[in-house]
Structures are given as C-alpha cells and as structure tokens.
Chain A
Amino acid sequence: MSTASKLVNHTGGTSLVFHEHGNEARWYDAIGTNTRKWEMRYGSDFSDNIEYALTLVGTTPTIAQGITAGKRAAIATVGTNAGDGLNMQLVGTPFILAAGYPLYFGCSFAPDNVLADWLVGMGTLDDTMINSSHALAIDAEFIGFYGIGTNAVIAYSEIHTDTVSTTCAGVSSAASHIYEFIYDGVSSVKFYMDGVLEATHSTFIPIGVLSPSFVLQNGSAAARTGTIDWMRVIQLA
C-alpha cells in the first residue's frame, strides 16, 4: 500500500487530493485554500460537548482515547441491557452535501461482537439515531452505514423518512472494517466497505448540515466494546 495524489476540480477551484495508491476512493488528505477537513485525532477530548456531543444510554457507557496502539477511541457500553450504549456526534455541523463540493467520509471501526447495534456516517444533530428497540431512528437526515444486532451491513441514506438502503455483500465481524462513502459533488454517493463498492445512491441524499456521527449500542443483553482506528471527513470547497 502506498500513497498517490490527484488534482480534483470543484466549485472553489482545484485541490490536491492524496489517496491510496490504486484506490482513488480512499482519500487520506487534501490541500486547498478552503478545504474542509475533520479527523478524529489522537488525544481527543471526549468530554461531552467539547469536541463531541455524547448521548449515553444505560449504566455509564464510556469513550476514551485508545490504549491499544493505533486506536483513536475505545468505546464500552458497560450496561447489559439491550440498547445501552453511546451516541456521538462532532459538535457543530460543518459539512453539507452541496453541488460542486465533493466529499469523502471514512471510518475504520471494530466491534467486539456482531451482536451490536452500530452506525457510522454523517447526520443532522440527533441524540437517538438507533433506539433501544434495535431500530434505526433517524430524526431528520443521515448517510452512512449501520448494523443492527447481526453481521449484516446496510448502506443507507435518509431525508425525513424517505430512505434508500442497500444490504452490503460484505458482512461485519469482530474485527476492523472500513466504511467509506464519496459524494461526487453532482448527484450521487458511492458506498464502499473494505474498499469494495457496495452501493450507489442518487436519491434521498441529505441536504441539511451534517456532523460526523457514530453509535455503538448493545444488540442483546450483554455489554459490548468497540474501537475506532480512524475516522475522517474531507470536503473540497
């Protein structure tokens, strides 16, 4: 694996995008005057409403800096009731999928068991994206991936109950998987799991301001843990 670069045209000009060699859909970084970048950083402050807005369900779920090398966040649901867990969103809503502004989202995430409810992507501010009944419960808008208590992975986009979902060929496991999507800056979003194109959605793509979002909850009556290797958003503007 090595790094390559390309120039990408967009409304604000032309930016230099660094991506995985041989995989133009996995962006690492971009350089441009007004490039909008966010990346979960090593040393994040996970106190509520500092960098992230946290909604905790059940007995004091926790999120902390990674102890294991390479991990940026370690999540523990702690409680043993189904639905216990944590809903996390970056404070502020610094991104919007608007024509002319291509965007990349990526996250490498590992649950300790497929019997978890989880979600990664970008959403409008929403403190209950998955409810305690193991159902997706998006208030307004979301785009990304989720799994509900099984190893099935769903690529998903929603605007106010209008939804598009695709069951991925890839399945989750108790290991790191990479979930990514790229908005082309025109009309469609391509979803990738572990580098494999799983879906292309061109309807019900969110139009509101969005925040990088993450959920991990118990998918059964047992506490779960999870780790985030990395999570980033890059938008050319």
Chain B
Amino acid sequence: MVHSKYVNGYLVYYDDYEHRWLKAIGPAAREWEMRYGTDFTTAKEYTNTQIGTSPTTQGITAGIRAAMLTTTTEYQGAQLQVVGTPFQIASGKPFYFGAKVSVDQATESDFFVGLAELDTTLLATSSAHALNHTNSVAFFKKDGATATLAGTVTAGATVAAAFTTGDHIYEIMFDGTAMHFYYDASLVSTITSGWPTVVLSPSIALMSGTTTALHGLVSWMRCIQLP
C-alpha cells in the first residue's frame, strides 16, 4: 500500500515500510531512478565500465530495467555509475537509496550496490577480491563468501541472511542524523558517523569470481534526497 507523509516540508510517498521511499514532490527534491529504455552507452546516462566484455543492456525479461553480464574470467565484470555525482550526504538532508537486484551466482561473485565516489574500479580487478575505492555507503559481497556487508568501505556490518541467487532489496535511509541499512526490508545496521562527505553517484558492480559468466538483473534502483 502506498502512503504519504511530509518530510522537511516535502511530500514523500512510501510503501508499507516508512523507509521505502518511492517519490518525493517539492521544489528541489533530488530524484534519480533507473528508467526503462535507458541508454547504457557509456558517458550518456552511466559511466559503463566493462572489465573484459561485460555488457549491460535493457531488459528482455519483463520487469527488468538492466541486465548485466560478466565474462567467464575471474575479476572481470560490469560496473555502472550515474554520470555526475548528484548526491552528497549532509546533516539534515534525508535521503533514500534502494535497489532490487538478483545475481545468479551466490558464492562465486563480487557484488556492490549503493552510492559511491566516481571510480572505474569500485572492485579490485586482480590479486584479491575486495573493495577498491575509498568513499561509499553500500552493500558489498565478496567472492568466495555468501556474507553481505552493509556500511562504509571501512566499517561494514554483516547481514545475517546469506546472499542467495534470488531477488533481494537493498536500501539505505539517512534520516538526516543516522544512517540505516535494510536488507529485504529488515534493518541490519545503523551508523551515526563515518559516512563519506564527498559527492556520490548511484552505483552497481558485478564481477565474476570464477570461470562462470554471471547475470545481474536490476528490477529497480532509485535515489531520493531532500534538501
């Protein structure tokens, strides 16, 4: 059920969960949503970085906005970042980030989704599976494991539920003071400091952990911030 409320004088529509923002209406609401019919040509709407031949295309399966595909080589994959860095975490400016994504390999995969600084290698491309940037708030899963971390680059809380191949919803809600991380609508972590203060872009990355090609399907992904 869709509900609405006022936050900072803006009309915010949300789903059954108050943290799941769908739309905000106001003179300076900052909204971004991955759209059907997106142009994934690099530097148009997204910086589309392919490590190896790892294309992202419009969805063929109904309901899918983006289909990401990796090569069959470990450390190769697809990464998208919205061109520009339209968001910045700041005290008193609530924001919401949410994405519904499925990955077809639970263990042998690197996966990242959230807000990050611009970096064409958010994930390490050799030597060891790890984050390879400094500033983000996100969910991250490392190859060889099914544990998902939620938080910043330097401080991630482990999500209790193991990463699986089905659709999962990853959400971050900053209420202007504290930042809450939700996995499939369940609160998994809250932090009150340590988030980056640099400008950030909605980001998603998927990388093969073995010799199997991976598919990542994005059902939806959106970010809303109130001034």
> What total of A-B pairs shows CB separation below 8 Å?
75
Contact yes or no, A209 B16, CB < 8 A: no
Judged by a CB distance under 8 angstroms, whether B22 is at the interface is yes
Query: Which chain B positions have C-beta within 8 A of A136?
Result: none
Query: Which chain A positions have C-beta within 8 A of B10?
Result: none
Nearest Cβ distance between residue A125 and chain B, in whole angstroms? 9
Contact yes or no, A32 B22, CB < 8 A: yes
**From DSSP, what is the main secondary structure of chain B's interface residues?**
loop
Contact yes or no, A94 B23, CB < 8 A: no
Contact yes or no, B36 A90, CB < 8 A: yes
The 8 Å CB contact of A31, one of B22, B36, B60, B100, is B22
Tell me which of B16, B36, B58 has the highest count of chain A C-beta atoms within 10 A of its own C-beta. Answer: B36
Judged by a CB distance under 8 angstroms, whether A190 is at the interface is no
Contact yes or no, A38 B41, CB < 8 A: no
Judged by a CB distance under 8 angstroms, whether B55 is at the interface is no
Judged by a CB distance under 8 angstroms, whether B20 is at the interface is yes
A1-24 toward B: CB 8 Å interface, digit per residue (1/0)?
000000100000111100000000
Judged by a CB distance under 8 angstroms, whether A237 is at the interface is yes
Interface bin, chain B: 20 to 34
For the complex, give the distance between the alpha carbons of A38 and B65 in Å: 10
Query: Which chain A positions have C-beta within 8 A of B57?
Result: 92
For the complex, give the distance between the alpha carbons of A56 and B217 in Å: 31
Smallest Cβ-Cβ distance to B21: which chain A residue: A33
Nearest Cβ distance between residue A206 and chain B, in whole angstroms? 11
For the complex, give the distance between the alpha carbons of A16 and B3 in Å: 9
Judged by a CB distance under 8 angstroms, whether A34 is at the interface is yes
Q: If the complex has contacts A32-B15, A51-B39, A92-B37, are A7 and B2 also in contact, measured as CB distance less than 8 A?
A: yes
B1-33 toward A: CB 8 Å interface, digit per residue (1/0)?
110000000000101100010110000000000
Nearest Cβ distance between residue A142 and chain B, in whole angstroms? 16
The 8 Å CB contact of A50, one of B1, B13, B15, B39, is B39
Judged by a CB distance under 8 angstroms, whether A98 is at the interface is yes
Query: Which chain A positions have C-beta within 8 A of B22?
Result: 31-33
The 8 Å CB contact of A16, one of B13, B16, B62, is B13
Judged by a CB distance under 8 angstroms, whether B64 is at the interface is yes
Judged by a CB distance under 8 angstroms, whether B63 is at the interface is yes
The 8 Å CB contact of A14, one of B2, B60, B62, is B2
Contact yes or no, A92 B35, CB < 8 A: no
Query: Which chain A positions have C-beta within 8 A of B13?
Result: 16, 31
Contact yes or no, A209 B60, CB < 8 A: yes
Judged by a CB distance under 8 angstroms, whether A118 is at the interface is no
The 8 Å CB contact of B16, one of A13, A50, A93, A94, is A13
Q: If the complex has contacts A13-B1, A31-B2, A51-B39, are A92 and B58 also in contact, measured as CB distance less than 8 A?
A: yes
For the complex, give the distance between the alpha carbons of A95 and B36 in Å: 10
Q: If the complex has contacts A13-B16, A14-B2, A36-B36, are A92 and B59 also in contact, measured as CB distance less than 8 A?
A: yes
Query: Which chain A positions have C-beta within 8 A of B201?
Result: none
For the complex, give the distance between the alpha carbons of A13 and B22 in Å: 14
Judged by a CB distance under 8 angstroms, whether B195 is at the interface is no
Contact yes or no, A92 B2, CB < 8 A: no
Nearest Cβ distance between residue B125 and chain A, in whole angstroms? 28
Query: Which chain B positions have C-beta within 8 A of A93?
Result: 59-62
Judged by a CB distance under 8 angstroms, whether A168 is at the interface is no
For the complex, give the distance between the alpha carbons of A132 and B60 in Å: 28
For the complex, give the distance between the alpha carbons of A50 and B59 in Å: 13
Judged by a CB distance under 8 angstroms, whether B220 is at the interface is yes
Contact yes or no, B36 A94, CB < 8 A: yes
Query: Which chain B positions have C-beta within 8 A of A98?
Result: 62
A/B interface sample: 11 pairs, CB < 8 A:
A13-B1, A31-B22, A32-B2, A33-B100, A38-B37, A50-B41, A52-B37, A90-B58, A93-B61, A209-B60, A209-B62
A13-B16, A31-B2, A50-B39 given; name 10 further pairs at CB < 8 Å: A33-B22, A33-B100, A37-B35, A37-B36, A50-B44, A51-B37, A92-B36, A93-B59, A94-B58, A209-B61
Closest 9 CB pairs of A and B: A92-B58, A96-B62, A38-B36, A16-B2, A14-B1, A33-B15, A94-B36, A91-B58, A51-B37
